[in-house]
Chain A
Amino acid sequence: MIDPIEYKENFWESVDFYHYKGWTDGLPVIPPTKEMIENFLNAGGVKEGQIVFEVPERKRSVNAAKIAINAILAGCLPIYMPVIISVLEAMSDPQYNIHSSASSTGGAAPLIVINGPIRSEILINSGTNFYGPGARANASIGRAIRLILMNCLGAKPGLMDRSTQGNPGKYSLTFGENEELSPWEPLNIELGFKKEESTVTLLATEGPHNIQNHYGQSKGILDTACNTMCSLGSMSEGQSFFVFSPEHAKIISEEYKTKQAIKKYIFENSIVPESILIESGKINNNGWADEKGNVRHALTPDDIFIIVAGGEAGGHSSWIPSWSRRRNGITVTKKILSSESRLSQTSKERK
């Protein structure tokens, strides 16, 4: 079993020591104990020396014990471990591009969307103020991932994290889809998973951009969304997420019954002439214009993800564009395995 490196006289001395060593995100941490680490490993269905996160570009292999320690420091509960492990599996996929997104001047945050029955088991917030404070799962799962990136990948500000401004989502940008108030199929079903299968979906992103519209009907709300997507400052050929509030989703669905219809509308109506991007200095001459000389924040309608989250009242939706000026990270979804399922995996299946 992993052993302590030293002991401190009392709780506050230990908390200060973690700060002194640079092992926190700036907020105080919860000092782990051996018993807590064992509980977290059991809850995740992993053994302490089992490698669960590998980043070849950084020559780092992170074992389950280090994951558990960082999750405890972040204030997680043991039942969050299956989610955290699945998030790290998604980040290990080269499509996600963890090495670049964690170090880029672009200041990406890992957007983590949770679907399926695990949402109610861990009490992840998908309703009122889901981006904001109040829910332990939303706050601490994202924080655990951030501490793992900082402590295990060396993604420290000014060292291997060179974000020009960063992004508040780097503390945590984790929430559940409000499947119960969505008029459309939830993301896990759309991506081919079963209703009873819980998933995490990740993309390295900017922060959320507000889509405020209190009087519009379907078209008006979608046109507001299109306008937000055409923001020059965020224009790239990457993927993005529209997170519609239940109120907006209900109004939009009166005319647009499927996600595919919404994606098509947004794709066809979120257009910026390439000449504007060139004149503004956004791009030089390597744009991705169509035959009419227009660019979009997507290469196909399927680059546009549609989900629902938020409280029942309010005309506020949001758009979360991919990080980077180009198309450097792709959305990755992984199934969340229970501790029993993970324990029964063979080493070949793990790879």
Chain B
Amino acid sequence: MAIGINGTDYAAPEDPRVSLLDFLREQVGLTGTKLGCNQGACGACTVLLDDERVLSCLTLAVQVDGRKVRTIEGLADAQGDLHPLQVAFIKHDGFQCGYCTPGQICSALAMAEELRRGDPSHVTVDLAAGPEGPTRYEIAERMSGNLCRCGAHNGIVSAIEEMLQGDSA
């Protein structure tokens, strides 16, 4: 068994106490995923685990043995070009200090998939039918697990909105 990170396999750490977050940052050398609170309250550590968004600070690395992890470093394409969402973040100034940014981006990518699947959210009016569409309100609720203290919220939502609209185009 191994942990797949951005397409490369790594042996799980010997110490089961090591969180996936610390494994990425301290052992694998991928510092793009950020430690914000280590308590599951800020979302800065969000990564994609088999394409679902999870908090790496509350995930023990040993738990994801045999599974696939994608981090911010794994989003650029093979040529190293930015993912369209990363481009949109720059265009709409969806960041200031940049610390919450990798978490926001990874979270948004998975969120887009949840929306496409028709999963409802807390603000979805018709629960059975699902979300009406990628409204700013739906995006804001679905991204509420990612805190931003610099206040880049409007830009983040705009960047995500652009990506989602690009989808339906």
Verify that A and B bind, or say they do not: no
**Which A residues fall within an 8 A CB radius of B?**
none
